[in-house]
Structure formats: C-alpha cells, structure tokens
Amino acid sequence: MSDRPNDPLLRLRGVCKNFGPVRALVDVDLDVPAGQVTALAGDNGAGKSVLIKCIAGIYTPDSGQLFWRGEPVRLRGPRDAAALGIETVYQDLALCDNLDVVQNMFLGREKLWHHVLDEGNMEAAAVDTLRRLSVTSIRSVHQQVRSLSGGQRQSVAIAKAVLWNSQLVIMDEPTAALGVAQTKVVLGLVRRLAERGLAVILISHNMNDVFAVADRIVVLYLGRVVATCPIVDIDRGSVVELMTTGRYDSRSTTPAA
C-alpha cells in the first residue's frame, strides 16, 4: 500500500473498453483524490457511464489497470468494489418505495442479532449517518420512501452509500429532475462528503452544479479524456467546447485564470 500522501485514492491507467466494434473507452487515465469532488463531463456517448461502471465493478476493462491506494486491483464485480469502499448512487437511486428509510439503507445488508433483524442498531446507525451528513429534512427514519420528495430520496440514497464506511462515492446526475431548493440541499451534501475526506466522482450535465461543487473536472469525448484540470483553471465555455468538439479554441474560449 502506498503511503505517499499525495497519491490519489483511485488511479486508472490506459483503461480501454470495447463493445464489439464500438470503442467506449480509449486509453483512459484518471486520478481520483480523497477529499475532493472530481466531476466527469461529456456529451451523451462520451463514455461516462461505462467509465463509472468499470470503477464500480460492473464492467471489466479489456485492458489497462486500476490502482487503489497505489496497489493494482482487479474488480470482478460490485462486491469487490464495495469491499474496497466504492459505492455508487445511480440516477434511478435504487430505492424501494414501499420500505421505510432504515429498511432502504440496509437493504441487502441487514444486521442480525441471534438470527433476528437487529432493528434497534439499524435505526441508530441510520439516524447517526443522516445526522453526520446534516440531513434535517427527513422527519422520521420510519417514513416510507414513497412519501419523500426527490431531494429527500437523493439524501437517503447518499446516506445509504456512506453508511458502509465508503471511501469513494460515485454520483450519477444527483440533481436531475430536482427543483432549485432540493438541488441546493443535494449539492451541500456532495460538498460535505468531500469535507469529511471522502473522494467523490460527480457526473452531471448541469455546468452550474459542476462549477458549484467540483474541485477538479475531467472531460470525456468519444471515449477519450481530452482535459483534466482544477475547476478554477477552466470556464464553462471551454468545458462545453471540449464536450462537443474534443478541443477548444484558445482564441475564443480560454481557461479561467
């Protein structure tokens, strides 16, 4: 295990993924540091979803290498990723409307005591996780998810991801279909994850959201990484041009100073 403090938590080198003749990822290099929000930007078909599924263990790269804390790893499935501390909050949230908040947070990972559900400890852990994330909009952890707003559901999904001592949280379009107030709550949660020392990968088409919370941005174009830089060193126009053309014209759109 690497002990160098500046090493990224996750590193990808030369990652490729093909689906028949389609080259979804081409020689992708990516560093994901702890304590920062790394935004993935790209147009539809750029490879963002394939990339995060390789990190989440759903897809196995055809070539290239993933490094976790400086050590090479091979993820044979989502359980391998979860064992490292990688959790993913997908756009559909994967929550069950007919279950309450506690049941959703522990779904598939229920705690048992003498072969019986340990409901007291599960409730306490759920309440503590929501408290640590400063989620105050949920009145009771015994509310069914169907009764929650979109922002509250997203908060539950994020809390579920960090409940398991996760170190990297991947978030796919977390503010899609949310109103202004709910978006503000969710973006606040994203920043709090980074402030707690977690690494966050954020996928979003909303550049306002990206520039509000990201520390770094990685732009994909047709499966390739075409830009990686601190968010303060680039402007929205440059990101959009990179997303749509794979390059930017420095005469018309320059990185922010």
* pLDDT score, position 249: 60
* pLDDT score, position 182: 86
Cβ partners under 8 Å of residue 105, min gap 6: 122, 125, 126, 129, 156, 159, 160, 163
Q: Is the pLDDT of residue 171 over 70?
A: yes
Distance, C-alpha 41 to centroid of its chain? 12
Q: Select from 163, 28, 158, 31 the least CA-distant residue to 85.
A: 163
Cβ partners under 8 Å of residue 111, min gap 6: 117, 118, 121, 122, 125
Which CATH architecture describes the domain 10-94+168-245? 3-Layer(aba) Sandwich (3.40)
pTM of this prediction?
0.87
Q: Per the structure block, which two tokens stand in for 158?
A: 């994020």
User: Taking the domains of the chain in order of start, what are their residue ranges?
Assistant: 10-94+168-245
Identity of the amino acid at 234: I
Q: Is the pLDDT of residue 177 over 80?
A: no
Q: How many residues does the chain have?
A: 257
* pLDDT score, position 114: 85
Spatial separation of the C-alpha atoms in residues 36 and 29, rounded to whole Å: 17
Q: Select from 23, 21, 85, 20 the least CA-distant residue to 51.
A: 23
Confidence band (pLDDT; 50, 70, 90) for 64? very high
* pLDDT score, position 2: 45
85 phi, psi to nearest 5 deg? 110, 25
A 10 A CB-CB count for 71 gives 10
* pLDDT score, position 6: 64
- Mean pLDDT in residue range 233-257: 74
